[in-house]
Amino acid sequence: MQKIRNIAIIAHVDHGKTTLVDKILHSCSIFRDNESTGELILDNNDLERERGITIVSKNVSVQYKDVKINIIDTPGHADFGGEVERVLKMADGVLILCDAFEGAMPQTRFVTQKALALGLKPIVVVNKVDKENCRPEEVYEQIFELFFNLEATEDQLDFQVIYGSSKQGWMSTDWKVPTDNIFPLMDAILENIPPAPIQEGTLQMQITSLDYSSFVGRIAVGRVARGTIKENMPVSLVKRDGKIVKSRIKELYTFEGLGKVKVTEVSSGDICAVVGIEGFDIGDTIADFNNPEQLEVIHIDEPTMNMLFTINNSPFFGKEGKFVTSQRLRERLYKEMEKNLALKVVETESPDAYLVYGRGILHLSVLIETMRREGYEMQVGQPQVIVKMIDGVKCEPVETLIVDVPGEVAGKVIELVTQRKGDLLIMEPKGDLQHLEFEIPARGIIGLRNNVLTATAGEAIMAHRFKAYEPWKGPIPGRGNGVLISMDKGMTTAYAIDKLQDRGRFFIDPGVDIYEGQILGEHIRDNDLVINITKGKQLTNMRASGTDDNVRIAPAIKFSLEECMEYIQADEYIEVTPASIRLRKIYLTENERKVNGKKFVNQ
């Protein structure tokens, strides 16, 4: 039997998980000496590289001292918590990574709680000890306290701690004595993480993630919990609802380095990829053909937010996208639901619109951005939090919000958060920053980040996580200003924009095609204003002194997709196409808006 260790790496976003996996891969000689690999090897899709974050968990394996170590790299954003929850089932231990300055952040707490509840053995890695102002001892104390508060067992509280810098490629048991390699961490994994248990008996394997190949279709990935799985073996697929489907395994692969290697059989404890099973979902169990026994179904926390996805019905419909029909939109959303467990799609009364439930704005925006790059064209509405009736009381999701800011602007942040029904719980110094903790309704966080960053000149560090459902906190003020709406269809002119600059700030440059009902900018007052910026200058053969000055236009404000999602109100849509993102009113003509305006007043 091959000696195997299965570990998941969990941490808050930007604490260095993917960088650490890079260094482990390099130090275990996965690559040839002359091979060029670049950085963040595992963040291999375009969106992950552009944003510098991990979105989908990935599996790799390395050999160290004749032991195979399966490593699962997980996302750090709370919005992708569903990814972490399901892959922890494949691990026997976890590396909990912490920044030596920031300490245990909200997402660290969230995934650590899940890992400890599953009984996994932790190793704590205090990373980035080369940073200025770092405080490794304090962070160690903080993590011990966190474990204690999360009701860790005595064995889990007796954790090994390793200090180091993933970026510089060293780890050590003492942060004041740097080494020149990361082998102290690898040795700690072998000593502290229990070997994958060998369980004899009939086959049991839970599908915890999906892979896809254009040659063989969907591939089931999971860990063999009991028995042995073999090529060409007849099996039973036990669905989440207990239904049993008979099937046969065509091919088996195990993970080696960054790729997969074909094998004939896999024993309990190892992670493998199975080809040939049809119609499976995450959480299903591959079991013995004659006596199928189901493993406990993976429980994923509920989504906290929803958005309306609908087909694009603007005047520019079909100009830029390949997939524009409601049938295509429906197929794509349901396909996403198969692998994205924290996502839920519900059909509405309209055949062209779907309510998509997710974990947060980032979770939904990554889905929209991915679809947009695939050639889909659609419109999305304002994100809404999910309200529940609990014991006859209207309740809404409340989040814990943590903000680290320079002391002189802490007052501005507190003011912005309390306006949105946030309560200040903790205020304490943290290095040269002020550490603030709030409880705030999830509704209040939508649109808050931009305001906080503006008020603090971009110096605030914000993080939040779902806490619980609590009674409704009352109305929260929305956007302060109205918008500038186009009166006509045509091309914008510099002359018209220049003449209307004192009315507000524009989102549109000159020389852009626009349509009636499109949102062109933000009004300086709180009401909406209909304007015409397609008007050109009347040309005559008369010249007047002073009127032919050069046009001076302030640069247009460009929103990212998330900023658009936080900006729009209930009576507005974002039109998303592969080439552009536009804001528009749901009702395009002024007459329709007057007739239907009352619908949105109470929202």
Determine whether the annotation assigns residue 216 to a binding site. no
Whether 78 has a pLDDT exceeding 50, the answer reads yes
- Give the pLDDT confidence score for residue 80 in this predicted structure: 67
Rounded mean pLDDT of 183-211? 84
99 marked as part of a ligand binding site: no
- The sign of the CA dihedral 512, 513, 519, 524 is positive
Environment class of residue 264 by beta-carbon count within 10 Å: exposed (0-12), middle (13-18) or buried (19+)? exposed
- pLDDT value for 33: 46
CB within 8 Å of 245: residues ≥ 6 apart: 236, 237, 239, 279
In 3-state terms, what secondary structure has residue 494? helix
Q: In angstroms, rounded to a whole number, what is the distance separating the alpha carbons of residues 77 and 11?
A: 9
Topology annotation, domain 204-288 = Elongation Factor Tu (Ef-tu); domain 3 (2.40.30)
Q: What is the pLDDT of residues 338-354, one digit of tens each?
A: 777 778 899 989 889 99
Residue 384 structure tokens: 């809404």
pLDDT at 549: 55
Whose CA is closest to 225, among 94, 89, 95, 122?
Answer: 89
Structure tokens at 535: 């008007």
With a cut of 60, say whether residue 44 has pLDDT above it. no
Instruction: State the average pLDDT over residues 147-168.
Output: 84
Question: What is the rounded distance in angstroms from the CA atom of residue 198 to the CA atom of residue 476?
Answer: 55
Chain mean position to CA 106: 14
Q: Has 16 been labeled as part of a binding site?
A: yes
pLDDT above 60: residue 60:
yes
The Cα–Cα gap between 310 and 129 comes to 48
Contact at 8 Å (CB) between 269 and 224? yes
Please tell me the predicted confidence (pLDDT) of residue 159. 86
pLDDT value of residue 550:
64
Residue 496: pLDDT over 60: yes
> Tokens 């569903």 sit at which residue?
82
Mean pLDDT of 486-504: 89
pLDDT of res. 50: 60
pLDDT at 603 over 50: no
Q: How many CA atoms lie within 13 A of 62 on its CB side?
A: 20
Structure tokens at 232: 């060409």
> Residue 86 and residue 572: Cα distance in Å, rounded?
35
Architecture of domain 483-600: Beta Barrel (2.40)
State mean pLDDT over 399-421: 88
Percent of the chain exceeding pLDDT 90 equals: 11
DSSP states of 542-589: ---TTSSPPP--PPPP---HHHHHHH--TTEEEEE-SS-EEEEESS-S
* Section 115-132 average pLDDT: 84
Which residue intervals of 128-234 are DSSP H helices?
A: 136-149, 154-157, 183-192
pLDDT at 430: 77
- Rounded to an integer, the average pLDDT of 326-333 is 90
* pLDDT for 31 beyond 50: no
15 is in an annotated binding site: yes
Q: Model confidence at 97, in pLDDT bands (50, 70, 90)?
A: confident
pLDDT digits (tens, 9 = 90+) for 468-487: 888 988 888 777 788 999 99
Mean pLDDT within 440-446: 87
pLDDT at 543 over 90: no
Nearest-angstrom CA–CA distance, 72 and 49: 18
- pLDDT number for residue 81: 66
Measured in degrees and rounded to the nearest 5, phi and psi for residue 450 equal -60, -45
Pairing between strand 265-267 and 581-585?
Answer: unpaired
Give the β-pairing of 433-441 and 393-406. Answer: antiparallel
User: Is 532 known to sit in a ligand binding site?
Assistant: no
Q: Which residues pair with 400 in a beta bridge?
A: 439, 465
Mean pLDDT in the chain?
82
**Confidence band of 128 (pLDDT split at 50, 70, 90):** confident
Q: Which fold has domain 388-471?
A: Alpha-Beta Plaits (3.30.70)
The pairs formed by 428-433 with CB atoms below 8 angstroms and a separation of 24 or more are 430/404, 431/101, 431/133, 431/135, 432/133, 432/406, 433/404, 433/405, 433/406, 433/407, 433/461
Q: Tell me if 129 is assigned to a ligand binding site.
A: yes
Q: Residue 32's pLDDT is what? A: 45
Q: Do the annotations mark residue 18 as ligand-binding?
A: yes
pLDDT at 597 over 80: no
* Amino acid sitting at position 488: D
Pairwise CA distance, residues 561 & 366, whole Å: 9
Looking at the DSSP bridge assignments, the partners of residue 558 are none
Tokens found for residue 85: 């929850």
pLDDT digits (tens, 9 = 90+) for 220-259: 888 888 888 888 889 888 888 888 888 888 888 888 877 7
Least confidently predicted of 71-85, 247-261, 318-332, 478-492: 71-85
pLDDT mean over 86-108? 80
CATH superfamily name and code, 3-192? P-loop containing nucleotide triphosphate hydrolases (3.40.50.300)
Residue 72 confidence (pLDDT) above 80: yes
pLDDT tens-place string over residues 354-381: 999 988 888 888 889 889 988 999 999 9
Please indicate if the annotation marks 523 as binding a ligand. Answer: no
- What kind and span of H or E run contains 362? helix 361-373
Positive or negative, the CA dihedral 31, 35, 37, 38 is: positive
Res 403 pLDDT > 80: yes
Domain boundaries of the chain, sorted by first residue = 3-192, 204-288, 388-471, 483-600
CA separation for the pair 592, 583 (Å, rounded):
17
Report pLDDT for 574. Answer: 93
Q: pLDDT at residue 310 above 90?
A: yes
Q: What is the DSSP string of 229-257?
A: EETT-EEEEE-TTS-EEEEE--EEEEEEB
Closest by Cα among 223, 222, 219, 244 to 234: 244
Tokens of 50: 């552009």
User: Do the annotations mark residue 211 as ligand-binding?
Assistant: no
Q: What is the pLDDT of residue 518?
A: 92
